[in-house]
Amino acid sequence: MTNLAERVAAGDRRALGRLLSQIEREDPEAQKILAGLNIRPDRALVIGITGASGTGKSTLVNALTRVLRKGTTDEPPQTVGILAVDPSSPFSGGAILGDRIRMRDLAGDDGVFIRSMASRGHLGGLSRATDCAVRALDAAGFEIIIIETVGAGQDEVEIARQADTVIVLETPGLGDDIQAIKAGILEIADVLAVNKADLPGAEAAAASLEAMLNLEKKGEDGWRTPIVSTVAATGEGMQALAAAVFRHRDYLKRSGEWARREQERAGRNLEERLRERLFDRWKASAGENALADAVRKVASRECSMEEALERLLLKEDAAAKSKG
Amino acid sequence: MTNLAERVAAGDRRALGRLLSQIEREDPEAQKILAGLNIRPDRALVIGITGASGTGKSTLVNALTRVLRKGTTDEPPQTVGILAVDPSSPFSGGAILGDRIRMRDLAGDDGVFIRSMASRGHLGGLSRATDCAVRALDAAGFEIIIIETVGAGQDEVEIARQADTVIVLETPGLGDDIQAIKAGILEIADVLAVNKADLPGAEAAAASLEAMLNLEKKGEDGWRTPIVSTVAATGEGMQALAAAVFRHRDYLKRSGEWARREQERAGRNLEERLRERLFDRWKASAGENALADAVRKVASRECSMEEALERLLLKEDAAAKSKG
């Protein structure tokens, strides 16, 4: 067990893969291994990438990864861990088609690790699993972690909040110029990429995004969301995108946001996990059927919701006393 | 306290108003009063009405209420409690402009009670408050309760799930025929109303809704979502809408869905409340700062999330022992 934790820290890819599988299926063992992982004094930069389907996210993630692996004019080459998270899909990790194509594309590079994670039916679980997976990749020493999410709904916003720097992807010509920008998505963008910028309408799309940014982000705090035009398929604009990401990282560190976002994230994740564990503990102590029995009584109008709740809360106390 | 509960049950509108205010501001007193309320052997029919802004929801709720108050050919007059719920607004209840206009419109009718409820920043709270308010109106004897929600996002879907019968409102000519129908909204519709059916494009809108329903709801369970054309401003189609609602109620009762939905709702609400109370209890026992201290340690990388979590869980045990 500590053995697996040590192997993850030492960069053993099979051990990392096993840990991520345990995390994905919510195996309690994973919690013990995560508790035993080393904590690096510094942490990875976590990039979230989101956008509607058809915007070319996977291609862009690959192209960006290649640039990060080579290094830019200002930055040395970095190791990259990629988590492709799909809140809408019940398919599970590591073996979906897109992944295999990607793995071939980035194959043979020990500085890259790719992993898919899929929903197990509840978003809370996926967002928790994403947090754990990020920490596993961090402990394994990856310098940059990319979380790629499918779609741009509320679920994706939730997952993108696990990132330091959020890139929102747009493309011209998806019907309306700005149709694919959903409410709330622009707000979370630290960097906007207009991908497929060789298509007609790219300039108009960039201009309307610019206008929307000016409307929505007026009075922001020292960071002006840049709009970068890219053609991920040919690699065009990828250096500029990487540069924008690093500029944002520098801004985060300079302004104190780097620590603030980590604090916020730790707070959200820890509280979430605590609530879950308290409920699990209650269930273990009160008995599996206590809640179902109470629900039946409330639904059949034998007692009020409030009475049922008070009785359920007393149940654990009684159980704890009779044990103690 | 029991006094207020008794007054609510006796139909005292001021007492009901006070209880709803307590519920809205999450006053713990409200829980005691709710626990003391009488439980009617039968319960009210809860209608949820949702749709984008501009679809004429408030006008339709008023027009529908007038029909329900008069009775239809098959149904006697019914008393109606209206909850206007706005997840996006921080404004609080009872005094917003729309309400006052409405109150004038339905004024002097003791069989109608109208109340606004606004968000206090967290959706969980609003959905909980809606549940409590529905039960208060139920105990006060209203035969039909209408929950009107603004917009059609995830928040509204959450609130609409508190209803037995969900009416989704559409209008022709909001740009695209079907633009205003967001993913997930059609799924929750038990009745579709195409309001402002006197505008151009109404037939096309109804036809494309029909087509979407056929796509999405194939293989449904004995209920075919009807599409009703209405002009709420003139009252046109309101009898047909009321008839559709009652047909759905009869279907629910006949098929066992009436009890199943109540069971599901009670389960969701009771579990939610239990989780909240367990967390509150933990906070009271472990101390307000315990969580914040742990978050600081995790964020500054002094310890792992998992270690912090285990220590937090031990805190309550220790506190309980030293008290016991």
List pLDDT tens digits, range B162-187. Answer: 899 999 988 886 544 444 455 567 77
Q: Is the dihedral of CA A143, A149, A154, A159 positive or negative?
A: negative
| Residue A181 CA: distances (Å) to CA of A174, B44, B96, B103 | 10, 41, 31, 38
Q: State percent of chain B over pLDDT 70.
A: 82
- What residues of chain B lie within 8 A of the CB of A282, using their CB? 274, 278
* Mean pLDDT, rounded, for B106-118: 84
Report whether B165 contacts B248 (CB < 8 A).
yes
Who wins on pLDDT, B60 or B108?
A: B60
Residue A91's pLDDT is what? 45
User: How would residue B203 be classed by pLDDT, with cut points 50, 70 and 90?
Assistant: confident
Name the closest residue on chain B to residue A310, using Cα atoms. Answer: B274
Chain B (223-262) residues lying within 8 Å, Cβ to Cβ, of chain A: 259, 262
Report d(CA B246, CA B252) in Å as an integer. Answer: 10
List pLDDT tens digits, range A155-205. Answer: 677 777 889 999 998 888 654 444 445 556 777 889 999 999 998 888 888
- What residues of chain B lie within 8 A of the CB of A135, using their CB? 304-305
User: How would residue A240 be classed by pLDDT, with cut points 50, 70 and 90?
Assistant: very high
* Mean pLDDT, rounded, for A72-78: 92
pLDDT greater than 60 at residue B286: yes
Q: State percent of chain B over pLDDT 90.
A: 48
pTM: 0.78
pLDDT greater than 90 at residue B134: yes
Query: Cβ separation of B35 and A273 shorter than 8 Å?
Result: no
Residue B161's pLDDT is what? 82
Neighbours of A261 (CB within 10 A): 18
Phi and psi of B92, rounded to 5°?
-110, 175
- What residues of chain A lie within 8 A of the CB of B32, using their CB? 306
Query: Cβ separation of B275 and A270 shorter than 8 Å?
Result: no
A275 touches chain B (CB under 8 A): yes
- What residues of chain A lie within 8 A of the CB of B282, using their CB? 274, 278
Residue B94's pLDDT is what? 39
Residue A322's pLDDT is what? 64
* Mean pLDDT, rounded, for B68-84: 93
Which of A153, A179, A163, A319 shows the shortest CA–CA distance to A248?
A163
A295 touches chain B (CB under 8 A): yes
DSSP reduced 3-state for A167:
strand
Amino acid residing at B31? Q
Report d(CA A18, CA A8) in Å as an integer. Answer: 9
* Mean pLDDT, rounded, for B84-113: 64
Tell me, what's the ipTM?
A: 0.81
Beta strand A80-86 with A144-149: parallel, antiparallel or unpaired?
Answer: parallel
Q: Range with the lowest mean pLDDT among A115-129, B258-272, B279-293?
A: A115-129
User: How would residue B95 be classed by pLDDT, with cut points 50, 70 and 90?
Assistant: very low
Q: Which of A27, A42, A177, A274 to mutate to test the interface with B (most CBs of B within 10 A)?
A: A274
pLDDT greater than 50 at residue A271: yes
Query: Cβ separation of A270 and B304 shorter than 8 Å?
Result: no
List pLDDT tens digits, range A151-161. Answer: 656 667 777 78
List pLDDT tens digits, range A15-48. Answer: 999 999 999 888 889 988 998 887 888 899 999 9
- Helix axis angle, A288-299 to A305-323, nearest 10°: 160
* Mean pLDDT, rounded, for B43-60: 88
Chain A (112-141) residues lying within 8 Å, Cβ to Cβ, of chain B: 131, 135
Please name the residue that has the structure tokens 């799930």: B161
B2 touches chain A (CB under 8 A): no
Query: Cβ separation of B39 and A306 shorter than 8 Å?
Result: no
Query: Cβ separation of B278 and A279 shorter than 8 Å?
Result: yes
Nearest Cα of chain A lies from the Cα of B50 at a distance, in angstroms, of: 18
